[in-house]
Structure 1
Amino acid sequence: MILTYGDSEKGLVRRANEDAISMKVDGLYLLADGMGGYDGGQIASSLAVESGARYFSSLPSEKAFSEEGLKEAFCAANRAILAEKRDSPALQSMGTTMVGAAVKGNHLFWAHVGDSRLYRYEAGELTQVTTDHSFVMELVTEGKLTKEEMRRHPRKNEITRAVGIDENMKVDTGSFSLSDGTLILICSDGVSGMVEDEDLARLISGNPRKTKDDLKALASSIMEKVYDAGARDNASLILIQFWN
């Protein structure tokens, strides 16, 4: 059994919500965090999830539910944004992060570009599955910065890879099996940048997750934590709960 819930909220600083989520295609979950100003960010994130979902749904099921199928959907989103930029000179700076999961049975396939994240909560532990494509994460990988310092670094919002920037975009992909009770959290940096991983794990472990209402309550608890911390960015999340 799969339970899902998604939410996307405008923060306390930005004047518009430049995030977008898509859960309309059965088994497909997409989240994007746009950049490029008020109009550009909204257009880029919406284009990404809509065109990605449309392409994914056009594929045969056995092709769609694979790392390659999800990667192709991301590439379709990339082409859509690049095409829009060619037609609209005012939107030249737009692009977006994108992270997605495709779930079939007890198997999850994921794809990722940028610094939005996919987490897995299993056996009481929260693990970040994706690796941020960001300037500060490169410093962490090189041992020049700790994860704690990364959160306060003045260049923490600089991403090194995005959808809609390069025709030869690189997409990270992976897959894993879901165990009974596994929870997947997909979120923008408006969530992960405001709430520590330890606090996210504590909120998940302290909330029942047996019904959709339970997931809605968990999402509300996470969002409350985001706003308590100042909600400096838009905040979006998708929860996917797997039970045998």
Structure 2
Amino acid sequence: MRRTKSRTGQAGHIGGRAEQQDHAACFASADGRCHLLVVADGMGGRTGGELAARTVIDVAEALWNESAQRPDDPPAFLESLCQRAHAAIRQHAEDCGESAGATVVALLTTPERAWWVHVGDSRLYAFRDCRPVFRTEDHTLVQQLVRSGQIDEAEAAAHPEQHKLLRGLGGYDALQTTHGQMRVDPDTGFVLCTDGFWAKVAADEMAGLLLAEVLGDACAQWVGIAVARAGAESDNATVAVLQPAGRRSGFAYRQLWPLYAAGVLALAAFLFHAMR
């Protein structure tokens, strides 16, 4: 098994929290044709949230190995990932007497197609030619208000109940998941992230990650920027990226340098004020 290949990268930052409750993983088949990316955001007291998120990743890795890195039925594989993690998290909470839960977003790709599943408010963004074409809809009260037309996206960003989840792994109710799929072209890329990341990094800025020369470094830079923008009370921030198979590093990459420059300036300004 390979945990990473050149087309994938991930990074996380603890932010202003006492504990890192986000976890992510990128898996690739031996021939590099099939990829699995998973991001989980834990919830719960003491170590419950961290363990819940780590459980999601452990279940994903076990299933990936069981499938010989090439699942025959991608939607069923992703559903099993969620259901197994849900049951394991719930069992731990019962055994230890502490609350535990997690959000999850998982992506499975072949050269021709991509499938995903999500529960909660960790998101998947899909891009074609570095332009955002799709994102998952959060399972939150605020997203429900947006969908019904009671508030707009701008109001949702500052809504006091923005983080109130309607679904999550580890509860006692039957788990409800949301699936999606799309055709994959050589210019198709994906970004998966927790709310601590997408709340502070716009989709247009995420596009720069799809053309980064050193993807791990770029992911680390942008989680740092997300945390800096959020300030002292920042949430954990985590991102995982699958770059397009036909990734170009020339002109298109240079077109995106202002986004990186803006990010560097934002981080420098935060550090300057923090050290005063």
The TM-score range, normalised by the shorter chain, is 0.7 to 0.9
- What is the RMSD computed on CA atoms of the aligned residues? 2.2
Give 1:204's aligned amino acid: A
| C-alpha contact (below 8 Å) 1:56/1:70 kept by paired residues | no
- Render the CA deviation track for 1:132-153: whole Å, top value 9, x for unaligned: 0001000001111111111111
Q: TM-score when scaled to structure 2?
A: 0.78
Pick closer, same or farther for the CA change 1:96–1:166 going to 2, 3 Å.
Answer: same
| C-alpha contact (below 8 Å) 2:130/2:189 kept by paired residues | no
Partner of 1:218: 218
Shift of 1:101: 0.6
Give 2:222's aligned amino acid: I
- Render the CA deviation track for 1:60-90: whole Å, top value 9, x for unaligned: 666455112111111111111111122111x
Structure with the larger RCO, 1 or 2 (CA within 8 Å, 6+ apart): 1
Partner of 2:243: 241
After TM superposition, the structure 1 stretch with the greater mean CA deviation from structure 2, 1-10 or 130-139, is: 1-10
- Render the CA deviation track for 1:72-118: whole Å, top value 9, x for unaligned: 111111111111122111x2x21000000112223211110000000
1:67 aligns with 2:71: no
- Render the CA deviation track for 1:195-223: whole Å, top value 9, x for unaligned: 2x3xx414525x67264x1x234324422
Gaps in structure 2 of 5+ consecutive residues: 30-34, 247-276
Give 1:10's aligned amino acid: I
Partner of 2:50: 42
SS of the residue 1:23 aligns to:
strand
Shift of 1:2: 6.6
Structure 1 distance, partners of 2:134, 2:140, is 15
Give 1:242's aligned amino acid: P
Q: What is the correspondence of 1:69-108 to structure 2 with a 5 Å cutoff? A: 69-89=77-97, 91=98, 93-108=99-114
Identity of aligned residues (%): 23
Partner of 1:230: 230
Structure 2 distance, partners of 1:115, 1:73, is 17
- Render the CA deviation track for 1:180-208: whole Å, top value 9, x for unaligned: 2222100000001122x3xx414525x67
Structure 2 distance, partners of 1:162, 1:82, is 11
SS of the residue 1:118 aligns to:
strand
Partner of 1:17: 20
Structure 2 distance, partners of 1:208, 1:153, is 30
Give 2:230's aligned amino acid: G
After TM superposition, the structure 1 stretch with the greater mean CA deviation from structure 2, 73-82 or 164-173, is: 164-173
Pick closer, same or farther for the CA change 1:36–1:203 going to 2, 3 Å.
Answer: closer
Pick closer, same or farther for the CA change 1:29–1:65 going to 2, 3 Å.
Answer: farther
Among 6, 14, 21, the alignment partner of 2:10 is 6
Pick closer, same or farther for the CA change 1:64–1:56 going to 2, 3 Å.
Answer: farther
Shift of 1:162: 0.2
Give 1:227's aligned amino acid: V
Pick closer, same or farther for the CA change 1:203–1:39 going to 2, 3 Å.
Answer: closer
Partner of 1:183: 189
Shift of 1:228: 2.9
Structure 1 distance, partners of 2:95, 2:81, is 22
Gaps in structure 1 of 5+ consecutive residues: none
1:147 aligns with 2:153: yes
Structure number with greater Rg is: 2
Q: TM-score when scaled to structure 1?
A: 0.87
| C-alpha contact (below 8 Å) 1:203/1:218 kept by paired residues | no
